Structure 1
Amino acid sequence: MEIRMPGIKTIEQNQYQRKIYSVSELNGRCKQVLEGEFSTVWLEAEISNLAKPASGHWYFSLKDQKAQVRCAMFKFKNRSCVSPPEEGMKVLVRAKVSLFEPRGEFQLIVEYLEAAGVGALLREYEQLKAKLDQEGLFDSSAKKPISHFNQRIGVVTSATGAAIHDVISVIRRRFPLQQLVIYPCLVQGNLAAQQIIHQINVANQRQEVDLLLLVRGGGSLEDLWCFNDEVLARTIFASALPIVTGIGHEVDFTIADFVADLRAPTPSAAAEKSTPDQRELLEQIAGLQYWLTQFMENKFQGYSQKIDWLLRQLQSPESVIEHRQQSLALLQHRLGSALKDRHSSMNQRLQNLQLRLSKLDPSVKIETAKQQRIQLKQRLMASMDKHFSENQSKFRELSIKLDSLSPLAILGRGYSVTSLACGELVTDAKTVEIGSTITSRLKDGRIDSQVTKIH
């Protein structure tokens, strides 16, 4: 029997009015509320409890003086991280607010991480990089060639840092004969860029090395910032000596790397790129020695075979002399016959020339020319006399004909030529008027008459 008392609610009554959650439901609901309320947040804090398991994910806490929060940055996000996190490092992160449901822990899912203050440095870095690139300081055409064989190599770095030990170790291993000149300087801090510039200028003034290595071990962006100095970049570009950089690790790129004639990912790699490998040289020498040995053996073998052949061809002196004597006798006989034939031929040729010369005697030609001249003269005189007589007869005939046709001859027979005063000949009496004056030309002289009558 159930006893009911006014104002008192039993458990059976309240269970129908309350919403009861399980732990997983509560955590899931809280996660939804957090992720819905906060999309993305930026935080600046200090890293603590950093863990980097084999999975590649990063787990750490972000804290300030009053509180801390758990964070996770998954592998596919931290690959693009410029500054890997370290314990106690102050960072700037972009994250999503969430809840780890299995343990009900409030956490941040980090999407981006950089060292505090790195953002401004990166912007300054990109601006300087773009400026120098536009000016042509990164052009490959301006790069000087790097030789593996250098009499002396200069190293611009800290005299006490790990980089110089790495360089010396690599060079001793690869090419122990290589001479080094160290130009000590700071490679971190506010004075580092100025000291590096000074040592590069000193090396160019002294001209005691053939190549410069500018090296430094790994570090954060701030640690390597001196190598992003604009004056240092221009000093490297203006250097008469080739410069190889080996700054930081393979993922570190500084302005000095872009301006340098060759960039190596590490100080050890810079030493390798500027020196020959003694093992390779020894292998090349051994190969050349083997080739030379084989070449000389082949030559000696060839000469030996040739000497053997010559020895087989060699005869006794007596047989050689006898053979030479026979050859000499044969040559003497051939020479005598040739001289005899030559003498006979020359005599015949001489007789022919004498005969031709007798025919070409000048006295004979002169006498013949004289006879020809006399004959030609006689023929010329006869021809001239004949032509003169013929022309003289023709002249007389033509004179007689000319006289017979001459008006004067007609006038000589008593005829006259009458003309008017104007000179017009009178051929018809009708053309003359009474009283006009006419002129009559006789053989000798003229008569002027006045017409009194016309018949």
Structure 2
Amino acid sequence: MSQALLTVTQVNRFLKSLIEGDGRLGDIMITGELSNFTGQHRSGHMYFSLKDDRSVIRAVMFSSAVSRLRFRPADGMKVIIRGRVSVYEASGQYQLYVEDMQPDGIGALAMAFEQLKARLTAEGLFDPDRKRPLPPYPQRIGVVTSPTGAAVRDILQITARRWPLAEIVFCPVLVQGESASAQITAAVQALNRARACDVMIVGRGGGSMEDLWAFNDEALARAVAASEIPVVSAVGHETDFTICDFAADLRAPTPSAAAELCTPDRDTELDRLLAYHRYFQDKGLGTVQDLRQRVDLLLRDSPLNRPGDYTLARRARLEELSARLEAQGREQMNTRRQTLALLSGKLDAMSPLKVLSRGYSVVYHGGKAVRDLTGLPAGEEVTLQVETGRRQAKLV
């Protein structure tokens, strides 16, 4: 009997049918350590190996299953995997096709939380220097939470009791489920774009880690950290912590506590105002009394109470100033007279009339003084100026 000749493809296909036909390998749970993990491929798939101390098996996790992961796998991580065993015909290798993966020893959500927290902490997203103070007297308080939960009722009641001047700007969102984190993120961003409030409360009431998971979203954490409006995170109860708590400017243990942290107490502020009023009133009355005493003292010592003394003193002062002014005037007059006499003597000494008094004369011809006679012919008439007057004469 001749033996059948098989192709490689036929052999691989036959082995694949044998393995897939065994129901025990169609849905198995297997534990081991991840190795040869190459990260997420651009197609969205993950390729790695699963090993223990004796053996290793190759594995693949397609993008549809990867999208359901709550944490980031890494080499050396112990995991529990659910999947099926089959043969990849092209290479003839049998491998594990992974449908679900959970950390071994810690829940997937807890690991995802710690991984995201560590990564954002390393980026500095939670640094205390980034935190902004809350406004002391907010006029508008933004509230991002479920419209049907107890959180919004508690916030409204406490705000109305403590600080009724504040207006509540409410953004109703889902706080649980697949679309919750996207809605919460969009509400935070919308309040910022509109500058709709002075401070913002983001939160919900208590629940399991799965119920609160929307507040562990990376996009929400980044939106809260980037918010120009101070954000108070109030998720769950005092023992619950979320990524949103670390990204916010302030964490409140409950939504009720958040409302108290965001609002001053009206009665306390009123008491403070009354104390200030009493202080300034007492201070003002004391100042008025002090000024009144000073005015009384000035009036008692004022010359207005003795007008005669005031008039006599001012008259004596006026007479003294008048005498000094008169003396200065006489002294200046004498000085001016002496200066005038001196200048008059000098002017008189230089006068032509003074020269004529000593026997000299001045000859005029044509109205002008003659300095040289050579230009005048004999018989020419001239005028002689002497001390006592003028006479006509002829040259000979």
* Matches of 1:186 and 1:118, distance apart in 2: 28
Partner of 1:203: 191
* CA distance, structure 2, for counterparts of residue 202 and residue 177 of structure 1: 23
Q: What does 1:358-377 align with in structure 2 at a 5 Å threshold?
A: none
1:146 aligns to 2:134 (yes or no): yes
Would you say the 8 A contact 1:186–1:192 is kept in 2? yes
**Would you say 1:123 and 2:111 are equivalent positions?**
yes
Confirm or deny: 8 A CA contact 1:228 1:254 kept in the other structure.
yes
Q: 2:156 aligns with which of 149, 168, 172?
A: 168
- Tell me the equivalent position of 1:105: none
Contact preservation (8 Å) 1:132, 1:138: yes
Letter of the 1:338 partner, please give it. R
Q: 1:360 to 1:125 in 2, by over 3 A?
A: farther
Q: Identify the residue that residue 246 of structure 2 maps to in structure 1.
A: 258
User: Larger radius of gyration, structure 1 or 2?
Assistant: 1
Instruction: Return the letter of the residue paired with 2:118.
Output: A
The 3-state SS of whatever aligns with 2:107 is helix
Q: Counterpart in 2 of 1:447?
A: none
Aligned to 1:296: 284
Structure 1 position 314, deviation (Å): 6.4
Length-normalised TM-score, structure 1: 0.49
8 Å Cα contact 2:133-2:230 kept in structure 1: yes
For residues 154 and 182 of structure 2, the distance between their equivalents in structure 1, rounded to whole angstroms, comes to 24
**RCO greater where, 1 or 2, for CA within 8 Å and sep 6 or more?**
2
Q: Does 1:226 align with 2:202?
A: no
Tell me the distance in 2 between the aligned counterparts of 1:333 and 1:134.
93
Contact 2:139 2:165 in 1 (8 A): no
1:214 aligned partner: 202
CA distance in 2, matches of 1:251, 1:236: 21
State the Cα distance separating 1:325 from its structure 2 match.
Answer: 4.0
What is the match of residue 329 of structure 2?
343
DSSP 3-state at the match of 1:331 = helix
Distance in 2, matches of 1:132 and 1:284, equals: 42
Residue identity matched to 2:164: P
Q: C-alpha distance in 2, partners of 1:273/1:132?
A: 26
Between stretches 293-302 and 338-347, larger displacement belongs to 338-347
**Structure-2 change in CA distance of 1:118 and 1:217 (3 Å):** farther
Using a 3 Å threshold, how does the CA distance of structure 1 residues 172 and 349 change in structure 2: closer, same or farther? Answer: same
Contact 2:206 2:237 in 1 (8 A): yes
**Local SS of the residue matching 1:155:** strand
Which residue of the partner structure matches residue 329 of structure 1?
315
SS at match of 1:126: helix
8 Å CA contact 1:148, 1:273 repeated in 2: no
Name the residue aligned to 1:133.
121
- Quick one: which of 268, 271, 276 aligns to 2:264? 276
Q: Does the Cα contact within 8 Å between 1:245 and 1:257 map onto a contact in 2?
A: yes
Unaligned runs of 5+ in 1: 1-115, 365-455
Deviation at 1:228, TM superposition (A): 0.5
1:242 is displaced (CA, Å) by: 1.9
Q: Structure 1 residues 328, 148: CA separation in 2 closer, same or farther (over 3 Å shift)?
A: closer
Going from structure 1 to structure 2, the CA distance change for 1:241 and 1:350 (only over 3 Å counts) comes to same
Q: Is the 8 A contact 1:214 1:243 kept in 2?
A: yes
Q: Distance in 1 between matches of 2:121 and 2:161?
A: 37
CA displacement at 1:244 relative to structure 2: 0.9
Instruction: State the Cα distance separating 1:193 from its structure 2 match.
Output: 0.8
Q: Contact 1:157/1:164 (CA < 8 Å) preserved in 2? A: yes
Once the two structures are superposed, the pairs formed by residues 59-74 of structure 1 within 5 Å of their partners are none
8 Å Cα contact 1:227-1:256 kept in structure 2: yes
Aligned residue for 1:122, secondary structure, equals helix
Give the drift of 1:351: 6.5
Residue 208 of structure 1, CA deviation: 2.0
Paired letter, 2:288: F
Contact residue 233 and residue 258 of structure 2 kept, 8 A: yes
2:272 is the counterpart of 1:287: no
Unaligned runs of 5+ residues in structure 2 are 1-103, 351-396
1:175-190 equivalent positions in 2, closer than 5 A: 175-190=163-178
Over residues 58-84 of structure 1, what are the superposed CA-to-partner deviations in whole Å (9 max), with x where a residue is unaligned? Answer: xxxxxxxxxxxxxxxxxxxxxxxxxxx
Shift of 1:354: 6.5
Normalising by the residue count of structure 2, what TM-score does the alignment of the two structures yield? Answer: 0.56
Q: Which amino acid aligns with 2:171?
A: Y
Report the CA distance between 1:201 and its aligned residue: 2.4
Q: Which whole-Å CA distance do the structure 2 matches of 1:137 and 1:305 have between them?
A: 64
Query: Aligned-pair RMSD on alpha carbons?
Result: 3.2
Query: Deviation string for 1:345-377 (max 9, x for gaps)?
Result: 32454467669979999x99xxxxxxxxxxxxx
* Within-5 A mapping of 1:366-445: none
Q: Distance in 1 between matches of 2:342 and 2:114?
A: 109
CA deviation after TM superposition for structure 1 residue 264, in Å? 1.4
What one-letter code is carried by the residue in structure 2 that aligns with 1:125? Answer: F
Q: Contact between 2:303 and 2:310, CA under 8 Å: does it hold in 1?
A: no
Instruction: Quote how far apart the aligned CAs of 1:194 are.
Output: 1.7
Matched letter for residue 217 of structure 1: G
| Mapped partners of 1:315, 1:232: distance in 2 | 81
Alignment match, 2:37: none
Structure 2 counterpart of 1:183, one-letter code: C
User: Counterparts of 2:228 and 2:202 in 1: how far apart (Å)?
Assistant: 15
